[in-house]
Each structure stands twice: as structure tokens, then as C-alpha cells.
């Protein structure tokens, strides 16, 4: 990465992942433009950055175009948990599609490099395990999760079409389950749900029998992967998986959180939501080869830090 200060836009910059990325870029002395409409983002996540001379906060909705001089764009704007994106599926689709178009147009006009935060959900309920980037996925295009899954898939299509037709400099990463401080108390993700329920001694809700799996990556590791991808050679555009390849069942996660919190919560079981993936594990061979990247923090250590954060909120 050049020592020259860059103007870096982070859309969804007040969200969980975006705020960590903004903080890291500010520390690296980049000039950060944080865009957020605050539908799911929180000013509390970035309030400590507001007095920094190299940080700007702009309240803006990506369904509307915006033109600013920028060198790099991290397009992270979109609700990322099922509870959030299913609460307003049409808005989710608009953010994915119109947001992608507007940011790609900005990148084209500003001659900027743009990184799309895609998702492991584009693989749907996978028939390949672990999931590699050349797997096309198994998704339901009309189900309740489609606003997010298909929205992200179409956004990837837009990115590659702009790359082929307009020669836009693009990067596409597929993010697997990420966790850590600054997660919202009520965002409906597995880790935040379990930790909050455990700390308040509520029943821990497990959907299905608990034998479906996920692979959880600590947010600092994920942020490092994003930055390495953005600053990789122009001819490496992805898509590339970013996530932790250590697969674990949901039931094991719940039991681990119970031990770490010394909670008295009981485990209760509910029916699985429609189209919930049975297994999720990234193949990160490409990220290791091209970005020299892999997660460094194991789940237990990451959970300890996450639990301490939620204790301060509660």
C-alpha cells in the first residue's frame, strides 16, 4: 500500500463491520468518508472517530446517487442479519442493486477501486462442502431470504459487468459469519443472540437440532482480509472467500458460550427457518495464496472479547 494518503469511502461505515474498518483506516492515516443511512448502523459505533481530522461522516442512502472524489470504495452497505434484511425485503433489494449501481458509477467517474462486500449466502444451502469460489450455489430465488441472497448475487453480476464493459477496477469478497464487539444487541445473529441470552440468563434458542454448522471469523481478522484485498494487484479481482475455516455446530457454540459466561440459561429448540443453510465452511485456499491471509484468533478467545463487550452494553 502506498504511503500517500487516500480518500477512502466506506458505505455502511457505522455498522458492525464498517465501523471496525473505518477505525482501522483512520489509524492508518487514510482520509475516511463514512457513509450510512443509520437504518441499521449506529452513531455510537463511530462517535470516537468524529473528532479525527481524517474522518468524515455523511448521512446518505445509497439508493440515491452521490458523486465525490475518492480513491477507494468499500461497499459494505446492507443489512446483514436475517432479522434485519427480512424486516424490509424491498429496501434490502434496493440497497443491494441500486446501491451497487450507484457506487460502481461513482468508481467509474472517480477512477477509483471498489470492493464489494458479498456474502457466503450466495452459496445458499450448499451441496459442495467446504464452499469454493467456483461453486455457483444452491439458492431459492423466491424465498424469504432471497432479498439478501439474490440481491448479493446480482450485485456480483453488476460488478463483473462493470469490470468487463467499463473497465472499472473491482474487488469482490464473499464474507462468511463474522462476530465481535460492536455487534447490535438485537441483530438476530447467532453469536449476539446466544451471548445476550446467556448473560441475561434467558433460554438460549437453537433452531433445528443444533447440528447445522457455521464457521465464525473474528472481526479484526476479517477487516485485515478486506484491506489486503483492496490493496492487492489490480489483476486479482476475486471473488475470494474471507472467513474462518474452523467449522462448528450451533449446539457446540451454545455450550461454549454457556461455559464462558457461567450462565444458568437452558437450551430450547425451535423449528428451523425456511432455507436456513445446513452447513457453512469456507475454502480459503485462494485467500491464503493471493492475499497471504488467514484468521489468527480462535473462537474461544474471540468470544471472550465479544462477551466482555456485551457486558458493557447490558
What pLDDT is attached to residue 277?
82
What pLDDT is attached to residue 3?
58
What pLDDT is attached to residue 82?
77
What pLDDT is attached to residue 87?
85
Q: Cβ distance 115 to 229 under 8 Å? A: yes
What pLDDT is attached to residue 50?
97
Domain-located, residue 38: yes
C-alpha–C-alpha distance, residues 86 and 108, integer Å: 31
What's the number of domains the chain is made of? 1
Domain-located, residue 53: yes
Which residues are catalytic, by number?
148
What pLDDT is attached to residue 2?
47
Domain-located, residue 212: no
Domain-located, residue 267: no
Domain-located, residue 258: no
C-alpha–C-alpha distance, residues 71 and 126, integer Å: 36
Blockwise average pLDDT, block size 10, the chain, 314 residues: 81 97 98 96 96 97 96 94 84 96 98 97 94 95 93 98 98 97 90 96 92 96 98 97 97 96 95 84 97 97 97 92
Q: Give residue 76's domain range.
A: 7-179+217-244+282-296
Domain-located, residue 168: yes
What is the reported pTM? 0.95
Domain-located, residue 115: yes
Nearest to 32 by CA among 11, 59, 60, 10: 10
C-alpha–C-alpha distance, residues 68 and 208, integer Å: 47
CATH of the domain at 119: 3.40.50.720
Q: Which residues contact 255 (CB under 8 A, 6 or more apart)?
A: none
Domain-located, residue 236: yes
Could you check whether the bond before residue 119 is cis, i.e. omega within 30 degrees of 0? no
Q: Is 86 exposed, middle or buried (0-12, 13-18, 19+ CB in 10 A)?
A: middle
What pLDDT is attached to residue 49?
98
What pLDDT is attached to residue 1?
41
Q: Cβ distance 112 to 69 under 8 Å? A: no
Amino acid at each position: 500500500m502506498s504511503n500517500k494518503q487516500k480518500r477512502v469511502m466506506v458505505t455502511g461505515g457505522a455498522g458492525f463491520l464498517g465501523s471496525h474498518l473505518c477505525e482501522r483506516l483512520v489509524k492508518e492515516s487514510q482520509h475516511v468518508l463514512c457513509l450510512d443511512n443509520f437504518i441499521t448502523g449506529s452513531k455510537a459505533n463511530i462517535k470516537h472517530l468524529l473528532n479525527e481530522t481524517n474522518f468524515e461522516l455523511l448521512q446518505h442512502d445509497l439508493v440515491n446517487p452521490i458523486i465525490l472524489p475518492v480513491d477507494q470504495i468499500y461497499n459494505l452497505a446492507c443489512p446483514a442479519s436475517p432479522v434485519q434484511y427480512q424486516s424490509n425485503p424491498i429496501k434490502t433489494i434496493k440497497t443491494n442493486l441500486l446501491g451497487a449501481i450507484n457506487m460502481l458509477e461513482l468508481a467509474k467517474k472517480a477512477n477509483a477501486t471498489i470492493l464489494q462486500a458479498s456474502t457466503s449466502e450466495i452459496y445458499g444451502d450448499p451441496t459442495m462442502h467446504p464452499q469454493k469460489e467456483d461453486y455457483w450455489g444452491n439458492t431459492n430465488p423466491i424465498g424469504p431470504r432471497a432479498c439478501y441472497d439474490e440481491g448479493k448475487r446480482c450485485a456480483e453480476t453488476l460488478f463483473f459487468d462493470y469490470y468487463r464493459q467499463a473497465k472499472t477496477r473491482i474487488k469482490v469478497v464473499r464474507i462468511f459469519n463474522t462476530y465481535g464487539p460492536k455487534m447490535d444487541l438485537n441483530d438476530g445473529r447467532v453469536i449476539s443472540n446466544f451471548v445476550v441470552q446467556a448473560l441475561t440468563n434467558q433460554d438460549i434458542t437453537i433452531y433445528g437440532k443444533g447440528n447445522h454448522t457455521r464457521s465464525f471469523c473474528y472481526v479484526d481478522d476479517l477487516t485485515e482480509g478486506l484491506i489486503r484485498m483492496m490493496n492487492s494487484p489490480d489483476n486479482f479481482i476475486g471473488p475470494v472467500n474471507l472467513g474462518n475455516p474452523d467449522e462448528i455446530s450451533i449446539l457446540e457454540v451454545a455450550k461454549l458460550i454457556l461455559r464462558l459466561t457461567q450462565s444458568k440459561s437452558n437450551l430450547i429448540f425451535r423449528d428451523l427457518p425456511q432455507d436456513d443453510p445446513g452447513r457453512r465452511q469456507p475454502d480459503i485456499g485462494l485467500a491464503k495464496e493471493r492475499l497471504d491471509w488467514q484468521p489468527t484468533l480462535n473462537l474461544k478467545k474471540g468470544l471472550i472479547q465479544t462477551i466482555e463487550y456485551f457486558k458493557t452494553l447490558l
